[in-house]
Amino acid sequence: MRLRAGKSPRPVELPHIGGIDAAGDVEAVGANVTEIAPGTRVVIDPTVKTPKGNLVMGVNFYGGFAEYLKVPATNVVPIPDEVSYDDASTLPICYITAWYGLYDRGGLENGE
């Protein structure tokens, strides 16, 4: 809602596809990817590490509301058949919320 109202805390160029929470089936993989195969059920870690810092899917680049996503193989985690896509997709954001609160807001340092 804030994004649509022009009040996003982070600048986002429009048009934009949001969606931080995402899970689904791998459609294709890059030539050097060996640990994940097409057809694998996965959840996506929405935080992509780059030399310039972390980027967040759905914020800094197109997100899970898109029909297809392209993310590094290191950002996908296989999920068991008995875990629904809905349940799996909620896991990464819980982690990111806790991490943000502890490190960014709380000042927690490595080793504490």
Mean pLDDT of 17-22: 90
Domain boundaries, position 91? 23-105
Q: Output 42 or 50, whichever has higher pLDDT.
A: 42
CATH number at residue 100: 3.90.180.10
User: Would you say residue 90 lies in a domain?
Assistant: yes
User: 72 falls in which pLDDT band (50, 70, 90)?
Assistant: very high
Q: What is the rounded CA–CA span in Å between residue 94 and residue 87?
A: 12
- On whether residue 100 sits in a domain, the answer given is yes
The Cβ of residue 93 has, within 10 Å, a number of other Cβ atoms equal to 15
Number of domains into which the chain is organized: 1
pLDDT at 8 over 80: no
The pLDDT, as a whole number, for residue 84 is 97
Residue 8 lies in a domain: no
Does 4 fall in a domain?
Answer: no
Rounded mean pLDDT, 76-105: 90
Q: Please check whether residue 79 is in contact with residue 43, taking contact to mean a CB–CB distance below 8 angstroms.
A: yes
pTM of the model: 0.75
State how far the Cα of 2 lies from the Cα of 59, in Å rounded to an integer. 12
What's the confidence (pLDDT) of residue 30? 96
Per the domain annotation, does 5 fall within a domain? no
